[in-house]
Amino acid sequence: MKGFVKAMLAVGAVVAAGAGETIYFYRRTMKRNEAKTERTMKMAGTDWSQYAGFIGERKNRMLAHPHSDVWIQSEDGLKLHATWFPCGDEKKAVVCFHGYTSQGMSDYIALSDYYLKNGFSMLLVDERAHGQSEGEYIGFGCLDRRDALCWLKWVTGRCGEEVQVLLHGTSMGGAAVLMASGLSLPPQVKGIISDCGFTSPKEVFTHVLHSMYHLPAFPVIPAADFINRKAAGYGMDECNAAREVRKAKVPILMIHGDADTFVPSEMCERIYANIASPKQKLIVKGAAHAESYYKDTEAYERAMDELIGGVVK
Protein backbone atom coordinates (compact mmCIF):
# COMPACT_ATOMS: atom_id res chain seq x y z
CA MET A 1 0.00 0.00 0.00
CA LYS A 2 2.82 2.40 0.86
CA GLY A 3 4.44 1.66 -2.50
CA PHE A 4 1.17 2.46 -4.28
CA VAL A 5 0.81 5.75 -2.40
CA LYS A 6 4.37 6.71 -3.25
CA ALA A 7 3.78 5.90 -6.90
CA MET A 8 0.61 7.98 -7.00
CA LEU A 9 2.36 10.87 -5.31
CA ALA A 10 5.13 10.66 -7.89
CA VAL A 11 2.57 10.68 -10.72
CA GLY A 12 0.83 13.64 -9.11
CA ALA A 13 4.11 15.52 -8.88
CA VAL A 14 4.82 14.90 -12.57
CA VAL A 15 1.32 16.04 -13.55
CA ALA A 16 1.61 19.16 -11.38
CA ALA A 17 5.01 19.97 -12.85
CA GLY A 18 3.63 19.52 -16.37
CA ALA A 19 0.65 21.74 -15.60
CA GLY A 20 2.89 24.44 -14.16
CA GLU A 21 5.20 24.25 -17.17
CA THR A 22 2.24 24.53 -19.56
CA ILE A 23 0.71 27.53 -17.81
CA TYR A 24 4.09 29.27 -17.65
CA PHE A 25 4.71 28.66 -21.36
CA TYR A 26 1.17 29.61 -22.37
CA ARG A 27 1.12 32.91 -20.52
CA ARG A 28 4.56 33.97 -21.79
CA THR A 29 3.62 33.09 -25.36
CA MET A 30 -0.08 33.68 -25.95
CA LYS A 31 -1.14 36.50 -23.64
CA ARG A 32 -0.55 40.09 -24.63
CA ASN A 33 0.71 41.35 -21.28
CA GLU A 34 3.18 38.47 -20.84
CA ALA A 35 4.71 38.32 -24.35
CA LYS A 36 7.71 40.66 -24.43
CA THR A 37 9.48 42.16 -27.45
CA GLU A 38 12.90 41.96 -25.79
CA ARG A 39 12.51 38.22 -25.18
CA THR A 40 11.39 37.62 -28.76
CA MET A 41 14.37 39.52 -30.17
CA LYS A 42 16.75 37.57 -27.97
CA MET A 43 15.26 34.25 -29.05
CA ALA A 44 15.29 35.23 -32.72
CA GLY A 45 19.01 36.02 -32.43
CA THR A 46 19.24 38.64 -35.20
CA ASP A 47 21.85 41.34 -34.61
CA TRP A 48 19.91 44.50 -35.48
CA SER A 49 22.56 46.88 -34.16
CA GLN A 50 24.56 46.50 -37.38
CA TYR A 51 21.67 48.03 -39.35
CA ALA A 52 20.92 50.92 -36.98
CA GLY A 53 22.17 53.61 -39.36
CA PHE A 54 20.32 52.19 -42.36
CA ILE A 55 17.08 51.82 -40.40
CA GLY A 56 17.39 55.28 -38.85
CA GLU A 57 17.83 56.94 -42.25
CA ARG A 58 14.81 55.18 -43.73
CA LYS A 59 12.71 55.85 -40.66
CA ASN A 60 13.26 59.58 -41.07
CA ARG A 61 12.12 59.41 -44.69
CA MET A 62 9.10 57.29 -43.80
CA LEU A 63 7.92 59.59 -41.01
CA ALA A 64 8.33 62.63 -43.26
CA HIS A 65 5.69 61.13 -45.55
CA PRO A 66 2.05 62.10 -44.74
CA HIS A 67 0.33 59.42 -42.67
CA SER A 68 -2.69 58.97 -40.41
CA ASP A 69 -4.30 56.54 -37.97
CA VAL A 70 -7.01 54.14 -39.12
CA TRP A 71 -9.44 52.22 -36.90
CA ILE A 72 -11.78 49.34 -37.80
CA GLN A 73 -13.66 46.61 -35.92
CA SER A 74 -12.84 42.92 -36.26
CA GLU A 75 -15.48 40.26 -36.84
CA ASP A 76 -15.38 39.41 -33.13
CA GLY A 77 -15.71 43.02 -31.99
CA LEU A 78 -12.10 44.16 -31.36
CA LYS A 79 -11.01 47.69 -32.19
CA LEU A 80 -8.05 47.34 -34.54
CA HIS A 81 -5.49 49.99 -35.48
CA ALA A 82 -3.29 50.66 -38.49
CA THR A 83 -1.30 53.54 -39.96
CA TRP A 84 -2.08 54.68 -43.52
CA PHE A 85 0.58 56.14 -45.80
CA PRO A 86 -1.20 57.40 -48.94
CA CYS A 87 0.82 57.59 -52.15
CA GLY A 88 0.00 58.99 -55.58
CA ASP A 89 -3.51 58.28 -56.85
CA GLU A 90 -3.92 55.46 -54.27
CA LYS A 91 -4.62 52.86 -56.96
CA LYS A 92 -1.83 50.57 -55.73
CA ALA A 93 -1.64 49.54 -52.09
CA VAL A 94 0.10 47.06 -49.82
CA VAL A 95 -1.29 45.81 -46.51
CA CYS A 96 1.60 44.91 -44.19
CA PHE A 97 1.50 42.46 -41.26
CA HIS A 98 4.27 42.52 -38.66
CA GLY A 99 5.95 39.83 -36.58
CA TYR A 100 5.29 38.48 -33.09
CA THR A 101 5.40 41.15 -30.31
CA SER A 102 6.13 43.89 -32.87
CA GLN A 103 3.81 46.49 -34.42
CA GLY A 104 3.01 47.92 -37.83
CA MET A 105 5.26 50.97 -37.62
CA SER A 106 8.31 48.87 -36.69
CA ASP A 107 8.71 46.04 -39.20
CA TYR A 108 8.30 48.00 -42.44
CA ILE A 109 10.59 50.96 -41.84
CA ALA A 110 13.12 49.81 -44.44
CA LEU A 111 10.62 48.42 -46.94
CA SER A 112 8.55 51.61 -46.85
CA ASP A 113 11.26 53.18 -49.00
CA TYR A 114 10.70 50.60 -51.75
CA TYR A 115 6.92 50.73 -51.67
CA LEU A 116 6.49 54.50 -51.50
CA LYS A 117 9.04 55.09 -54.27
CA ASN A 118 7.13 52.63 -56.45
CA GLY A 119 3.80 54.39 -55.93
CA PHE A 120 2.24 52.04 -53.37
CA SER A 121 0.12 53.38 -50.56
CA MET A 122 0.87 51.43 -47.39
CA LEU A 123 -1.39 50.21 -44.61
CA LEU A 124 0.76 49.18 -41.64
CA VAL A 125 -1.46 47.02 -39.47
CA ASP A 126 -1.18 46.52 -35.71
CA GLU A 127 -2.30 42.92 -35.42
CA ARG A 128 -4.72 41.98 -32.64
CA ALA A 129 -3.15 42.10 -29.16
CA HIS A 130 -0.30 44.23 -30.56
CA GLY A 131 0.41 47.94 -30.78
CA GLN A 132 -2.72 50.05 -30.45
CA SER A 133 -5.09 47.22 -31.45
CA GLU A 134 -7.28 45.57 -28.85
CA GLY A 135 -7.11 41.92 -27.86
CA GLU A 136 -5.87 39.83 -24.96
CA TYR A 137 -4.82 36.73 -26.90
CA ILE A 138 -2.34 36.70 -29.79
CA GLY A 139 -3.76 35.33 -33.04
CA PHE A 140 -0.56 33.82 -34.55
CA GLY A 141 -1.99 34.24 -38.03
CA CYS A 142 -4.93 31.94 -37.34
CA LEU A 143 -7.13 34.86 -36.25
CA ASP A 144 -5.23 37.60 -38.05
CA ARG A 145 -6.09 36.13 -41.45
CA ARG A 146 -9.75 36.93 -40.77
CA ASP A 147 -8.76 40.45 -39.71
CA ALA A 148 -6.96 40.76 -43.07
CA LEU A 149 -10.34 40.55 -44.82
CA CYS A 150 -11.58 43.49 -42.72
CA TRP A 151 -8.52 45.53 -43.62
CA LEU A 152 -8.95 44.71 -47.31
CA LYS A 153 -12.52 45.95 -47.11
CA TRP A 154 -11.24 49.23 -45.64
CA VAL A 155 -8.64 49.65 -48.41
CA THR A 156 -11.24 49.04 -51.11
CA GLY A 157 -13.59 51.53 -49.47
CA ARG A 158 -10.82 54.11 -49.29
CA CYS A 159 -9.25 53.61 -52.72
CA GLY A 160 -12.10 52.28 -54.83
CA GLU A 161 -12.91 48.96 -56.48
CA GLU A 162 -10.14 49.36 -59.07
CA VAL A 163 -7.34 49.41 -56.47
CA GLN A 164 -4.67 46.70 -56.82
CA VAL A 165 -3.51 45.28 -53.49
CA LEU A 166 -0.60 43.21 -52.22
CA LEU A 167 -0.41 41.44 -48.86
CA HIS A 168 3.06 41.45 -47.28
CA GLY A 169 3.83 39.71 -44.00
CA THR A 170 6.92 39.12 -41.87
CA SER A 171 7.32 36.16 -39.47
CA MET A 172 3.93 35.84 -37.71
CA GLY A 173 2.61 38.31 -40.28
CA GLY A 174 4.09 36.10 -43.00
CA ALA A 175 2.13 33.17 -41.62
CA ALA A 176 -1.01 35.34 -41.50
CA VAL A 177 -0.89 36.30 -45.18
CA LEU A 178 -0.17 32.70 -46.22
CA MET A 179 -3.10 31.50 -44.12
CA ALA A 180 -5.24 34.20 -45.72
CA SER A 181 -4.40 32.75 -49.15
CA GLY A 182 -6.79 29.90 -48.38
CA LEU A 183 -9.72 32.27 -47.88
CA SER A 184 -11.94 33.77 -50.54
CA LEU A 185 -9.91 36.93 -51.14
CA PRO A 186 -11.42 39.92 -52.94
CA PRO A 187 -10.37 40.38 -56.60
CA GLN A 188 -8.34 43.46 -55.67
CA VAL A 189 -5.66 41.20 -54.11
CA LYS A 190 -3.07 40.53 -56.78
CA GLY A 191 -0.23 38.88 -54.87
CA ILE A 192 1.18 37.78 -51.52
CA ILE A 193 4.71 38.16 -50.12
CA SER A 194 5.67 36.13 -47.06
CA ASP A 195 9.02 36.76 -45.35
CA CYS A 196 10.07 34.01 -42.88
CA GLY A 197 6.48 32.90 -42.24
CA PHE A 198 5.84 29.70 -40.27
CA THR A 199 3.46 26.81 -40.87
CA SER A 200 1.42 26.88 -37.65
CA PRO A 201 1.73 27.94 -34.00
CA LYS A 202 1.94 24.29 -32.97
CA GLU A 203 4.90 23.57 -35.22
CA VAL A 204 6.87 26.71 -34.44
CA PHE A 205 6.28 26.29 -30.68
CA THR A 206 7.44 22.68 -30.91
CA HIS A 207 10.60 23.83 -32.67
CA VAL A 208 11.25 26.52 -30.04
CA LEU A 209 10.71 24.07 -27.15
CA HIS A 210 13.15 21.59 -28.70
CA SER A 211 15.84 23.96 -29.92
CA MET A 212 15.85 26.69 -27.26
CA TYR A 213 14.40 25.13 -24.12
CA HIS A 214 15.45 21.51 -24.77
CA LEU A 215 11.98 20.33 -23.78
CA PRO A 216 9.66 17.79 -25.42
CA ALA A 217 6.41 18.94 -27.03
CA PHE A 218 4.39 16.69 -24.71
CA PRO A 219 2.62 17.60 -22.48
CA VAL A 220 3.06 21.34 -23.05
CA ILE A 221 1.77 21.66 -26.62
CA PRO A 222 -1.36 19.47 -26.30
CA ALA A 223 -2.25 21.16 -23.01
CA ALA A 224 -1.61 24.65 -24.38
CA ASP A 225 -3.73 23.77 -27.40
CA PHE A 226 -6.62 22.80 -25.12
CA ILE A 227 -6.30 26.02 -23.12
CA ASN A 228 -6.09 28.14 -26.26
CA ARG A 229 -9.22 26.60 -27.78
CA LYS A 230 -11.13 27.60 -24.66
CA ALA A 231 -9.52 31.01 -24.10
CA ALA A 232 -8.69 32.35 -27.58
CA GLY A 233 -11.07 30.28 -29.69
CA TYR A 234 -8.65 28.48 -32.01
CA GLY A 235 -6.45 25.41 -32.06
CA MET A 236 -2.70 25.68 -32.55
CA ASP A 237 -2.72 23.62 -35.72
CA GLU A 238 -6.28 24.44 -36.72
CA CYS A 239 -4.91 26.70 -39.45
CA ASN A 240 -1.65 25.65 -41.06
CA ALA A 241 -0.05 27.72 -43.82
CA ALA A 242 1.25 24.60 -45.57
CA ARG A 243 -2.35 23.40 -45.93
CA GLU A 244 -3.96 26.76 -46.68
CA VAL A 245 -1.70 27.53 -49.66
CA ARG A 246 -3.11 24.45 -51.42
CA LYS A 247 -6.19 26.62 -51.98
CA ALA A 248 -4.28 29.74 -53.05
CA LYS A 249 -5.42 31.55 -56.19
CA VAL A 250 -3.02 34.53 -56.29
CA PRO A 251 0.74 34.43 -56.94
CA ILE A 252 2.92 34.02 -53.85
CA LEU A 253 6.54 35.03 -53.20
CA MET A 254 8.26 33.15 -50.37
CA ILE A 255 11.37 34.69 -48.78
CA HIS A 256 13.48 33.13 -46.03
CA GLY A 257 17.00 33.26 -44.61
CA ASP A 258 18.93 29.99 -44.53
CA ALA A 259 20.47 30.98 -41.16
CA ASP A 260 17.08 31.45 -39.47
CA THR A 261 17.07 29.43 -36.24
CA PHE A 262 13.77 30.85 -34.94
CA VAL A 263 11.59 29.79 -37.88
CA PRO A 264 13.65 27.20 -39.78
CA SER A 265 13.82 27.52 -43.56
CA GLU A 266 12.50 23.95 -43.77
CA MET A 267 9.07 25.42 -43.08
CA CYS A 268 9.46 27.72 -46.08
CA GLU A 269 10.35 24.75 -48.29
CA ARG A 270 7.36 22.76 -47.08
CA ILE A 271 4.94 25.63 -47.60
CA TYR A 272 6.41 26.38 -51.03
CA ALA A 273 5.97 22.77 -52.15
CA ASN A 274 2.25 23.00 -51.35
CA ILE A 275 1.42 26.31 -53.06
CA ALA A 276 -1.25 25.77 -55.72
CA SER A 277 -0.93 29.20 -57.37
CA PRO A 278 2.02 30.66 -59.34
CA LYS A 279 4.97 30.89 -56.97
CA GLN A 280 8.48 32.25 -56.51
CA LYS A 281 11.06 31.66 -53.81
CA LEU A 282 14.10 33.54 -52.51
CA ILE A 283 16.42 31.93 -49.95
CA VAL A 284 18.96 34.47 -48.69
CA LYS A 285 22.27 32.97 -47.64
CA GLY A 286 23.46 33.88 -44.17
CA ALA A 287 20.26 35.73 -43.24
CA ALA A 288 18.90 35.20 -39.73
CA HIS A 289 15.25 35.67 -38.74
CA ALA A 290 13.62 38.59 -40.61
CA GLU A 291 17.07 39.72 -41.79
CA SER A 292 16.74 38.86 -45.50
CA TYR A 293 15.96 42.40 -46.72
CA TYR A 294 18.93 43.82 -44.83
CA LYS A 295 21.31 41.00 -45.73
CA ASP A 296 20.67 41.21 -49.47
CA THR A 297 18.51 44.24 -50.29
CA GLU A 298 19.18 43.97 -54.02
CA ALA A 299 18.05 40.34 -54.30
CA TYR A 300 15.00 41.00 -52.12
CA GLU A 301 13.86 43.97 -54.20
CA ARG A 302 14.57 42.12 -57.44
CA ALA A 303 12.31 39.28 -56.30
CA MET A 304 9.61 41.81 -55.41
CA ASP A 305 10.00 43.47 -58.82
CA GLU A 306 9.50 40.10 -60.54
CA LEU A 307 6.33 39.33 -58.59
CA ILE A 308 4.84 42.82 -58.78
CA GLY A 309 5.73 43.25 -62.45
CA GLY A 310 3.68 40.19 -63.29
CA VAL A 311 0.56 41.04 -61.28
CA VAL A 312 0.23 44.83 -60.84
CA LYS A 313 -0.33 47.14 -63.82
- Whether 292 has a pLDDT exceeding 60, the answer reads yes
- Whether 197 has a pLDDT exceeding 90, the answer reads yes
pLDDT tens-digit profile of 107-143? 999 999 999 999 999 999 999 999 999 999 999 999 9
pLDDT tens-digit profile of 90-108? 999 999 999 999 999 999 9
The answer to the question of residue 224 being in a domain is: no
The answer to the question of residue 294 being in a domain is: yes
- Whether 188 has a pLDDT exceeding 90, the answer reads yes
Provide the CB-side half-sphere exposure for 8 (13 A, CA): 5
The answer to the question of residue 192 being in a domain is: yes
Phi, psi angle pair for 134, to nearest 5°? -75, 170
The answer to the question of residue 295 being in a domain is: yes
Q: Which of 50, 25, 30 is nearest to 288 (CA)?
A: 50
The answer to the question of residue 57 being in a domain is: yes
- Whether 80 has a pLDDT exceeding 60, the answer reads yes
220 vs 14, which has greater pLDDT? 220
pLDDT band of residue 13 (cuts 50, 70, 90) is very low
The answer to the question of residue 230 being in a domain is: no
The answer to the question of residue 103 being in a domain is: yes
Asked which of 26-30, 87-91, 143-147, 188-192 is least confident by mean pLDDT, the reply is 26-30
Domain that holds residue 275: 31-200+239-311
- pTM (2 d.p.): 0.93
- Whether 10 has a pLDDT exceeding 70, the answer reads no
33 vs 282, which has greater pLDDT? 282
**pLDDT score of 144:** 98
- Whether 18 has a pLDDT exceeding 90, the answer reads no
- Whether 239 has a pLDDT exceeding 80, the answer reads yes
**pLDDT score of 15:** 36
The answer to the question of residue 91 being in a domain is: yes
The total domain count for the chain is 1
Percentage of the chain lying above the pLDDT 90 cut = 88
The DSSP result for 233-276, as a single string, is: S--TTTS-HHHHGGG--S-EEEEEETT-SSS-HHHHHHHHHH--
Alpha-carbon distance of 6 to 12, in angstroms, equals 10
Output the domain CATH number for residue 159.
3.40.50.1820
pLDDT band of residue 19 (cuts 50, 70, 90) is low
pLDDT tens-digit profile of 26-67? 999 999 999 999 999 998 999 999 999 999 999 999 999 999
